Amino acid sequence: MSNRVCEVLGIKYPIIQGPMSWLTNAELVAAVSNAGGLGILGPNAGQTELTKDPVETAERMRREIRKVRELTNKPFGVTLIGSNGEFSSIFTLKILDVVIEEKVPIVLINSFGKEGNYGVEKGLLEPCKEHGIKMVVRSLQPSIADAKKCQEQGASVYVATGFDEGGTMPGVAIGTFSILPMIRDAIDMPLAIAGGICDIRTTRAAFALGAEAVFCGTLFLAVKESPCADNVKDLIVKSTAEDLVMFRAPFDYYRSLPTAICPTLIENDNNLPTEEAKQANGKAMGGVGGMRLGMLLGDLEHGYVSVGNGVSLIHEIKSVKEVIDDLMADFK
Ligand SMILES: Cc1cc2nc3c(=O)[nH]c(=O)nc-3n(C[C@H](O)[C@H](O)[C@H](O)COP(=O)(O)O)c2cc1C
């Protein structure tokens, strides 16, 4: 059973794996695409050390793209991080050059979505259109105005994100099953939903509310093909949403399973004014390096473990194929 998202992206099942910094490498992405979904390479895909050189960053992505191609001939995507101004960073523009050169068919664009900055910025929109690259757009701050702008710009799929998600959370606390029908009523274009979708019940609920695809991150952390550290996978399997702590951090909020740095993050949140709390926590979390430490290397003393509320629904470490077969049972 196909639908508009499957048709536009050329995939078998309406399930998209969300990019996760450090944690969505070629093996995971290819496994998702081979199982019938859309795999997406995220920032620092396949890496263990950060480089601050934009050319090296892009060349690393080129190697990872080629690795995906050795493992699958199915469609896959690469993430382009938008900006909160008109033009993207030099890192994103270098990766875009590689995406064009390597003829990657799909990009996931993170737009910022805040007032005055809706939709995809020109610097990404025009080259993608010119080269026929399909744009899946997920705004860090989904809103009716942002969704309408993406529709007008000709994006292929809009991803609405609920406050239940893992990773960098939206600044407006609208839960997944509240934001989905709100955005559905605002746009006619293909719509995916992110935030807490981790089993067949949440998948069915998403489709009942008008989603045409599910967009999942947390679900793909504790799978066999994930590069996540084994102790983190074990922690995910035995945790529920009740275990999560939440605090302000760049850009707005973050959640983590309790690690040794969490009391400091909560204390900053409780005691400092908003902007100071975000800055202090951004520093204490070690920026993007913090996710590498906590989740890729499994250092629960110095890092954090970002997951969404759907963590309650993950009870064992399965293969990507098993997970996708479970969620997509109604589409067979
Ligand atoms: C550990 C982690 C890292 C993430 N890193 C990124 C990222 O680098 N870029 C991005 O666009 N989204 C990132 N996300 C968000 C996911 O792509 C996806 O939108 C989100 O996980 C969906 O919600 P769920 O976790 O409830 O499934 C991250 C999510 C997690 C859990």
Residues 6+ apart with CB under 8 A from 259: 294, 300, 301, 303, 304, 305
Q: pLDDT truncated to tens, each residue of the chain (332 aa)?
A: 789 999 999 999 999 999 999 999 999 999 999 999 999 999 999 999 989 899 999 999 999 999 999 999 999 999 998 776 667 889 999 999 999 999 999 999 998 877 778 999 888 999 999 999 999 999 988 999 999 999 999 999 999 999 999 999 988 999 999 999 999 999 999 999 999 999 999 999 999 999 999 999 999 999 999 999 999 999 999 999 999 999 999 889 999 999 999 999 999 999 999 999 999 999 999 876 789 999 999 999 999 999 999 999 999 999 999 999 999 999 98
What is each CA distance from 125 to 43, 148, 168, 193, in whole angstroms? 19, 15, 23, 22
Report d(CA 310, CA 270) in Å as an integer.
25
User: Which of helix, strand or coil describes residue 171?
Assistant: coil
- Ligand 1: which of 165, 174, 288, 312 to mutate, most ligand atoms within 8 Å of CB? 165
Cβ–ligand 1 contact at 109 (below 6 Å): no
According to DSSP, residue 285 is labeled T
* Residue 218 near ligand 1, beta carbon < 6 Å: yes
Domains located in the chain, CATH noted: 4-226+316-331 (3.20.20.70), 245-306 (no CATH)
Strands 157-161 and 191-194 turn out to be parallel
| Closest ligand 1 atom, residue 310 Cα | 26
Structure tokens belonging to residue 168: 């960098």
The single-letter DSSP state of residue 319 is -
Please state the atom number of ligand 1 nearest to the C-alpha of residue 18: 17
* 112 in Cβ contact with 161 (< 8 Å): no
Ligand 1: which of 120, 168, 244 to mutate, judged by most atoms within 8 Å of the beta carbon? 168
**CA of 325 relative to ligand 1 center, distance in Å:** 21
Token digits of residue 73: 């001939």
